[in-house]
Amino acid sequence: MTVKVAAAFILMLFFLSTACQAKLSSSFYGKSCPKAESTIRTAIRTAIARERRMAASLIRLHFHDCFVQGCDASILLDETSSIQSEKTAGPNDNSVRGYEVIEKAKSKVEKICPGVVSCADIIAVAAREASAYVGGPSWAVKLGRRDSTTASRDLANTDLPAFTDSLDKLTSRFQKKGLTARDMVALSGSHTIGQAQCFTFRDRIYNASNIDAGFASTRKRRCPRTGGQANLAPLDLVTPNSFDNNYFKNLMRNKGLLHSDQVLFNGGSTDSIVTEYSRNPAKFSSDFASAMIKMGNIHPLTGSSGQIRRICSAVN
């Protein structure tokens, strides 16, 4: 009898485990909100058509959300008496963008399926749509995340990568989130459509030794030694509006704009991955999609955890 009870208990745990794993599914809204993804897609495409730069911003928004507390839309919460907003954390303040785009997509979805689709899922779908719109890969987004009721500015300040990070520090940050060095390099490839503010690369273009002289000279035009802190510059000068593998080709020519970019190809353990992606755009595209799926699975809230926010910037 005891053996049977134990066996039944183990079987129950197996089914509970399977059920938990099944909570994130690409068909999660198949019955509850079948037009969710197409509605989000339309909103995201409209936003990027209006401003091409928004594609990179939405991919980055997903990244900065998932690295703090998991993919739970905590990054969207505004400051309140009980919430320390992640929006004002050092890596996000006056840097992360796209909040209003997600909010608009949420309002569109709420009109057809009120209280069904989470803001966390909208961020994940938005990143996929942003990539596809500018020529990058697409992938099946696993859905079923719920929204957090908390945020952590402290974790945002400690867990998010910094533009001054060494290769070892970057690798460690990604490993703590369950991501490999290959995932890290692939995800960094999205910088091919990104832009950076002058203060993030000033030290590199004026003081670094591992930088192409002509490249540094060109970048100094938009980034003086003093002033111009927020002046923007594309991370990839060649094809700044297209998702391709030029980012990796640039690194091999010492034309990485950020210190944290160039460390990926600087005589270290990730040089071979950068070289591979520079020669094989299809492999980069495939690995990027896989890494985005993997990143989107970092500690999601499912089942009865969290909530489905009615407005993404505030808890219900």
Which residues are annotated as part of the binding site? 65, 68, 70, 72, 74, 86, 161, 191-192, 236, 239, 244
Helix (H/G/I), strand (E/B), else coil: 97:
coil
Do 123 and 296 contact (CB within 8 A), yes or no? Answer: no
Q: What is the CA radius of gyration of the chain?
A: 21
Residues at the binding site for heme b are: 191
Residues at the binding site for Ca(2+) are: 65, 68, 70, 72, 74, 86, 192, 236, 239, 244
Orientation angle between helical segments 119-133 and 99-112, nearest 10 degrees = 110
Residues at the binding site for substrate are: 161
Q: Active site residue: 62, 64, 259, 299, which one? A: 64
In this structure, which amino acid lies at residue 300?
Answer: P
Tokens of 257: 């704009």
* Separation CA 211–CA 205 (nearest Å): 7
Longest dimension (CA), the chain: 80
- Residue 217: CB atoms within 10 Å: 10
* Separation CA 125–CA 11 (nearest Å): 35
CA distances from 94 to 98, 196, 197, 230 (A): 11, 12, 10, 9
Half-sphere exposure of 36 (CA within 13 A, CB side): 27
Beta-carbon contacts of residue 62 (< 8 Å; ≥ 6 apart): 71, 123, 124, 126, 127, 292, 295, 296
64 is catalytic: yes
* Separation CA 144–CA 120 (nearest Å): 9
Orientation angle between helical segments 281-295 and 54-66, nearest 10 degrees = 50
* Separation CA 44–CA 127 (nearest Å): 9
Q: Which residues are catalytic?
A: 64
